[in-house]
Structure 1
Amino acid sequence: MMKEPKTIDITSRIQSEETFVLYGYAPICANCQIAERMLDIVSEMKGVSYTSMNLNYHKDLIETYEIRSAPALLLFREGKLVREVYAFQSVPHLTEVFDEFLVDE
């Protein structure tokens, strides 16, 4: 099991990296497990890495970015939140989301 990243480390990466993908989940959320499987497939296809965070430990980030539910996919560019995805729907849908996100690089 991976160690939970600290809020300060996530915030630092959001601010310092050109693009940053953050996946928020809740351990007891069945939809989150399915969403992460889809995200794994798409991130591997697109060669994009992401950081996972257990939303139970990041109240400050939930408030700052107004995260409404789990699962949550937050896409950042140059320190700014550019897109949020709460309904993962399908692998093709997530592929389109990443295609749009990566085109703007």
Structure 2
Amino acid sequence: MKETISTENILKNIQDREHYIIFGYATMCKTCDISETMLSVAAAAREISYERINLNFYKTLIDKYQIRSAPALLLFKNGKLVREVYAFQSVTYLNEVLEKFLID
């Protein structure tokens, strides 16, 4: 399997978009599957989208943003990483994280 969006396009999106969300997962990671299910519910409630990437294919991003584990939720605002979430906890928690991210 190969990446579906190039690293260059991700970096461009980070710079060009006011809000940009990346969900990083790893193959065969059941915690990632559960986390993405919670994230998809929270994102749908807020009518927002996110970029879904398999971290196994994005070493440059892992190094640049010091991604520590999967799953990883990276929230970018105006080209800057403003928050990282590694423990997804619950849909309610993710709703609060996304609300704060979109308002601040």
Give the 3-state SS of the residue equivalent to 1:48 in structure 2: coil
Give the 3-state SS of the residue equivalent to 1:74 in structure 2: strand
> How far off is 1:103 after superposition?
1.0
> How far off is 1:47 after superposition?
0.9
| TM-score, normalised via structure 1 length | 0.95
Counterparts of 1:38-77 in structure 2 under 5 Å? 38-77=38-77
What residue identity is the alignment partner of 2:25? Answer: Y
- Name stretches of at least 5 consecutive residues in structure 1 with no aligned partner: none
Total equivalences in the alignment: 102
What residue identity is the alignment partner of 1:96? Answer: E
- Percent identity of paired positions between Structure 1 and Structure 2: 51
Give the 3-state SS of the residue equivalent to 2:81 in structure 1: strand
> How far off is 1:5 after superposition?
1.1
1:103 and 2:103 equivalent?
yes
Whole-angstrom CA distance in 2 between matches of 1:67 and 1:97: 18
1:20 and 2:20 equivalent?
yes
Q: Deviations over 1:8-63 (max 9, x none)?
A: 11111001001100000001100000000001000000011100110000000000
RMSD, aligned CA: 0.8
Give the 3-state SS of the residue equivalent to 1:38 in structure 2: helix
Whole-angstrom CA distance in 1 between matches of 2:91 and 2:54: 22
- Name stretches of at least 5 consecutive residues in structure 2 with no aligned partner: none
Moved runs in structure 1, 4+ residues, more than 2 A? none
| TM-score, normalised via structure 2 length | 0.96
Whole-angstrom CA distance in 1 between matches of 2:89 and 2:66: 21
